[in-house]
Amino acid sequence: MMKGILGNAICTTALSALFLTAVISDQAAAAEEPFRPFGLNLEGSLGEGGHSRYVPPLTNPIFNETPYITTEARAIYFYHELPNDFVTGGGHVNLVALQLRLALTERLGFIATKDGYADFQFDDVLEDESGFANIAFGFKYAVISIPEDETLLTVGLRYEIPINDLETGGIELQGDGDGFLNPFVTGATTFGDLGLQASFGANIALDGDADTSIVHYSAHADYEVLPGFFPLIEVNGFTPIDHGNRLTGALGDLDGVDVLNFGSDDRDTTITVGGGFRYQFNDNVQIGLGGETPITDKDDSIFDYRVYFDLVLSL
pLDDT at 1 > cutoff 60? no
pLDDT value for 74: 98
69 against 35, higher pLDDT? 69
Q: What are the CA-CA distances from residue 100 to residues 139, 223, 264 (Å)? A: 12, 26, 30
Least confident of 14-23, 112-121, 173-182, 295-304: 14-23
Using alpha carbons, select from 201, 55, 77 the residue that is nearest to residue 140.
Answer: 201
The 3-state secondary structure of 265-298, one letter per residue: CCCCCEEEEEEEEEEECCCCEEEEEEEEEECCCH
The 3-state secondary structure of 183-205, one letter per residue: EEEEEEEEECCEEEEEEEEEEEE
pLDDT value for 252: 65
The Cα–Cα gap between 270 and 299 comes to 10
Q: How far is CA 123 from the centre of its chain?
A: 27
Mean pLDDT value of segment 18-36: 53
Mean pLDDT value of segment 47-55: 92
Contact (Cβ atoms closer than 8 angstroms) between residue 302 and residue 261: no
pLDDT value for 9: 44
pLDDT value for 291: 97
The Cα–Cα gap between 59 and 286 comes to 15
Using alpha carbons, select from 239, 233, 174, 242 the residue that is nearest to residue 208.
Answer: 242
Task: Provide CATH code, domain 2-314.
Answer: 2.40.160.40
Contact (Cβ atoms closer than 8 angstroms) between residue 238 and residue 223: no
pLDDT band of 169, cuts 50, 70, 90: confident
Mean pLDDT value of segment 222-236: 98
pLDDT value for 28: 47
pLDDT at 186 > cutoff 90? yes
Q: What is the pTM of this model?
A: 0.85
Contact (Cβ atoms closer than 8 angstroms) between residue 37 and residue 102: no
The Cα–Cα gap between 129 and 118 comes to 8
Run of H or E residues at 18: helix 2-30
pLDDT at 26 > cutoff 80? no
The Cα–Cα gap between 299 and 206 comes to 27
1 against 63, higher pLDDT? 63
11 against 298, higher pLDDT? 298
The Cα–Cα gap between 14 and 310 comes to 12
pLDDT at 13 > cutoff 50? no
The Cα–Cα gap between 15 and 21 comes to 10
pLDDT value for 298: 78
Torsion 249-116-286-44 (CA) sign: negative
Mean pLDDT value of segment 281-300: 92
pLDDT value for 256: 79
Q: What is the mean pLDDT of the chain?
A: 87
176 against 68, higher pLDDT? 68
Mean pLDDT value of segment 280-289: 96
- Tens-digit pLDDT profile for residues 102-146: 999 999 999 999 999 999 998 988 888 899 999 999 999 999 999
